[in-house]
Structures are given as C-alpha cells and as structure tokens.
Chain A
C-alpha cells in the first residue's frame, strides 16, 4: 500500500493489488484509511522562518570564529609551555645522570614528592572511613536519603520554574 501511494507499483502488481482489494473488505477498509492519511498530508502548509534568520546565524558564525581563534592561540601557548617543560625535564635528567651525586638527588626528589602526596592520601582514607561509619548507622543513612531527595526536588524545581523557556505568544 505504501508503495502504491508513492506510485511505485508496476502495472502488473497494481492489477493484483486492485483484484485483492475487491475480494478482501478488510484490506479495502485499510486502504481507504491509508488514502485518507495520504490526502491529509498532501500539499501541507509550510512553516515560515523568522525574517532575520541569516543575520542571527552570521552573528553566531563570527562568535564561533572568534572563539576558534582564541582556542587556537591558547593551544599554541599550551604547546609552547609543554615543549619548555619537556626540555627542562630532559636537562634535569641529564644533569642527574651525568653528575655523580645523581642517586642521592633522585632519592631526595622522591622523598619530597612523597611527603607532599602522603598527607593527601591519608586525608582521603580518613574521609572514607568516616563516610563508611556514617552509612553504617541507620539514622545517618536516612539523613543522606533526605539530603538526596531535597537536592532532587530542588533541581526539578529549578528546571521547571526558572529555566523554562519563554513561550512565544501566538
């Protein structure tokens, strides 16, 4: 039927189609409905765009280009910094390896990195323990649930009440 509506049936097929329709009332009824759909959507009204669409798009094109240029220059700057850092690392490594006191210096470097990172690690572990203990008490779990529910309600309300797009008056 779909093919028939689009004029895609060969004459032979079309003949068979018509023969079947005259013999089968169910299909004939369905065919009528299909034709109705086709008529309903034939030559439909076309929605008209706002008149200043081109100008508005051009504003966006220019903005995008400016952002692209900015991003490009930022990327070049980042690349330059990365090259400098790599150069410095190579120089440092060369100095550590070539100068006799290399091992001691590497050990000192490791120690300083460790002493910077270790407190952070301890803090994260402590936080984990506290959270786990909290979750073990039922009252805290319920409180957490309340917090989550409040956050969800707040988000929903913000989305519905504040960020609702302005309805066009028509």
Chain B
C-alpha cells in the first residue's frame, strides 16, 4: 500500500488530520479548476468546499482503478458543470455573472502583477465565452495537462468526443482572438489618425 492509499484509508476511518492533509494535497488543482470554470473566487471556493465534502462522503465508492487525482477532478468537474447549468436555467440570474477578479494570491512585483493580472483577465474572459463542455476540456488540457484518455475516463465519454470538443474549443478561441486583435488594431489606427474621442469607449 502506498502513502496515498494509507492516507485514504485513514480518512475513511474519520481521521481529521488525514483529511486535512488530503485537502491540502489537492486543493490547488481543485480550486484552480473551479475558478477557471466558474470565473469568480467566491463561487470557486464554494465549489472547492463542496467537492471535498463529496470526496469525503463518497470515499467508500472510490476504487483504485482510477488515479485518485483524476477521481477528485472528475467530482469537481461534474459539480462545476452542474452549477453552470443551474446558473443558466435560473430565472433572472443577474447576480451570477462571472467576475474576472483575481484571488489575492502570490505576492509578485507590482508591474509583473499588473501584467499577469491583465493576461489573467483576458484568459478568464475568453474562457467565459466558451460553452461549459468546451471550457472544461480546455482547462483540463492546459492547466491540468491531462491526456485524451484521462479526460475521457474522467468525463465518462469517448476519446473521440474529447478530441472533437478540444478541436471545436480551439476553433472558437481562435475566432475570438482574431476578432479581438482586429478590434485592437482598428482602435490603434483610430488613435493614430488622431481621433482620440472616437477610440475611447
């Protein structure tokens, strides 16, 4: 039995310390996935809490066929997709719009922080444009570096479905990026022509 299985066994018996260890081992990927999917720190934290609660409750159903990290990420993914669907279905959900604010994370040098914050916001707004199933494969591919097989096993679909989702997602992202660059270029041109008033929003 390796260390992870030992830890899981201890959590199954209700050991709080072991559970804390387990949460600390997986909280960053789970929180990151939730944040990328949901777009707001508040919702991401709620989703991370719910995920670990489910992990604790369902630990008896975990079988070692699947990698433990994949199992946890699968629970998080399903929860986020459910939550996004509910958000879409909920009537008059004005307050549920994702916010592109960053959790007060690692302290970086101010200018670098501003730069990464800008990129971060752009990333988050691009992700928010994708339908949730496409957003999920992009997040799993780029942030969590999962293979097609792992994603298919996690999401309960076929590898070809994962491939086509990734393809469509990249196609859409490419389109958005192109549109954005066009917009930026035309704004620059407008600025160059000196018609500053027109360019400002």
CA of A38 to CA of B141, assembled, Å:
10
**Contacts A44-B143, A61-B56 hold; do A165 and B42 have CB atoms under 8 A apart?**
yes
List A contacts of B48 (CB < 8 A): 49, 53, 57
Segment among B1-9, B62-70, B166-174, B185-193 that sits at the interface with chain A: B166-174
Segment among A28-36, A81-89, A101-109, A143-151 that sits at the interface with chain B: A28-36
The answer to whether A64 touches B106 (Cβ under 8 A) is no
CA of A50 to CA of B42, assembled, Å:
10
The answer, among A1, A5, A54, A156, for a CB contact under 8 Å with B92, is A156
List B contacts of A34 (CB < 8 A): 170, 174
The answer to whether B31 touches A53 (Cβ under 8 A) is yes
The answer to whether B23 touches A54 (Cβ under 8 A) is yes
List A contacts of B19 (CB < 8 A): 54, 57-58, 61
**Contacts A33-B177, A42-B142 hold; do A159 and B105 have CB atoms under 8 A apart?**
no
The answer to whether B28 touches A46 (Cβ under 8 A) is yes
The answer, among B53, B102, B163, for a CB contact under 8 Å with A60, is B53
List A contacts of B177 (CB < 8 A): 33, 36-37, 40
Proximity string of chain A (149-169) to chain B, C-beta cutoff 8 Å, 1 when within and 0 when not: 000000110011001111110
List A contacts of B105 (CB < 8 A): 47-48
List A contacts of B166 (CB < 8 A): 2, 6
**Contacts A33-B178, A40-B177, A170-B101 hold; do A53 and B27 have CB atoms under 8 A apart?**
yes
Q: Is A24 an interface residue (CB 8 A)?
A: no
> How many CB-defined contacts (below 8 Å) exist between A and B?
124
CB distance from A13 to the nearest CB of B (A): 14
**Contacts A164-B95, A170-B102 hold; do A58 and B123 have CB atoms under 8 A apart?**
no
The answer to whether A2 touches B56 (Cβ under 8 A) is no
The answer, among B32, B56, B57, B174, for a CB contact under 8 Å with A47, is B32
CA of A28 to CA of B36, assembled, Å:
30
CA of A168 to CA of B45, assembled, Å:
12
Proximity string of chain A (2-44) to chain B, C-beta cutoff 8 Å, 1 when within and 0 when not: 1101101000000000000000000000100110111011101
Proximity string of chain B (100-119) to chain A, C-beta cutoff 8 Å, 1 when within and 0 when not: 01111110000000001001
CA of A48 to CA of B30, assembled, Å:
10
Chain B residues proximal to chain A, CB less than 8 Å: 16, 19-20, 23-24, 27-28, 30-32, 35-36, 41-42, 44-45, 48-49, 52-53, 56-57, 92, 94-95, 99, 101-106, 116, 119-120, 123, 126, 138, 141-143, 148, 163, 166-167, 170, 173-174, 177-178
Chain A residues proximal to chain B, CB less than 8 Å: 1-3, 5-6, 8, 30, 33-34, 36-38, 40-42, 44-50, 53-58, 60-61, 64, 155-156, 159-160, 163-168, 170
Q: Apart from A46-B28, A47-B44, what are 4 other A-B pairs with CB-CB below 8 Å?
A: A6-B141, A54-B19, A160-B92, A168-B101
